[in-house]
Amino acid sequence: MIFSKPIKPTLETAYVKLMMDVIGRGLVMASQVDTEIQHEIAQFPVGFCLSMNVFPKGPAFVLEVNPQKQLTLVKQLDKKPDLTITFKHLHHAFLVFSFQESTARSFANDRMIADGDVSHAIRLVRCLNKMEALILPKLVAELAVKEYPQQLSFKEKINSAANIYLKVAQSYFKGGV
């Protein structure tokens, strides 16, 4: 055999790492674009740090609430995050990020741990659900979120998705986090 590691776990790791980066950046950009997400983020105090990771040392992202009450990506964190969402296994993260299982179902199946205030975790899940509803095709989003927002018009979805995708792409081209 040419490969020293099995291919499937290597591909899952690469996919989850990419999705963690895209979701982290997507939340940052959605906090600049969507009023519902802005309202949720405004409830966190300035300096509030949240992270999502895969146990034990898998892919991760860290976000912080800035003075404008928007999220920013953080490269290096000198303190313990106020809220950490941890997938217990890489495959559990893969199920969520490949839209085979919703975030709510993953919590219900005990595949994730929330370390921090439960109300903050619920607020983050609402932000993730709204972002996914905005940026994913409706058929995929309906698999990813517990309840697809009925009031989300096609025009709002397209405009918001385009704006978020554009900002995420720009963040990659600028080389910033």
- Flag whether 90 is in a domain: yes
Q: Angle between the 154-173 and 118-135 helix axes, to the nearest 10 degrees?
A: 100
- Per-residue confidence (pLDDT) for residue 72, from 0 to 100: 94
Task: Note the pLDDT tens digit of each residue in 121-162.
Answer: 999 988 988 998 898 888 888 777 778 888 888 898 889 889
- Per-residue confidence (pLDDT) for residue 1, from 0 to 100: 45
Identify the CATH number of the domain in which residue 124 sits: 3.30.1050.10
- Confidence class for position 28, pLDDT limits 50, 70, 90: very high
- Flag whether 154 is in a domain: yes
- Per-residue confidence (pLDDT) for residue 64, from 0 to 100: 96
Give 11 or 142, the one with higher predicted confidence.
Answer: 11
- Flag whether 108 is in a domain: yes
- Flag whether 177 is in a domain: no
Residue 140 near residue 98, CB atoms below 8 Å = no
> Phi and psi dihedrals of 49, rounded to 5?
-115, 135
How many CB atoms are located within 10 Å of the residue 30 CB? 29
> Phi and psi dihedrals of 138, rounded to 5?
-55, -45
Report d(CA 134, CA 156) in Å as an integer: 8
Task: Note the pLDDT tens digit of each residue in 63-103.
Answer: 999 999 999 999 888 889 999 999 999 999 999 998 888 88
- Per-residue confidence (pLDDT) for residue 104, from 0 to 100: 80
- Flag whether 7 is in a domain: no
Give 104 or 158, the one with higher predicted confidence.
Answer: 158
Cis geometry, peptide bond prior to residue 45 (ω within 30 degrees of 0) = no
- Flag whether 151 is in a domain: yes
> Phi and psi dihedrals of 73, rounded to 5?
-75, 140
- Confidence class for position 7, pLDDT limits 50, 70, 90: low
- Flag whether 3 is in a domain: no
In the predicted model, what is the mean pLDDT of the chain? 88
Number of folded domains that form the chain: 1
Tell which residue, 54, 50, 51, has the closest CA to residue 88: 54
Report d(CA 175, CA 58) in Å as an integer: 22
- Flag whether 91 is in a domain: yes
- Per-residue confidence (pLDDT) for residue 175, from 0 to 100: 66
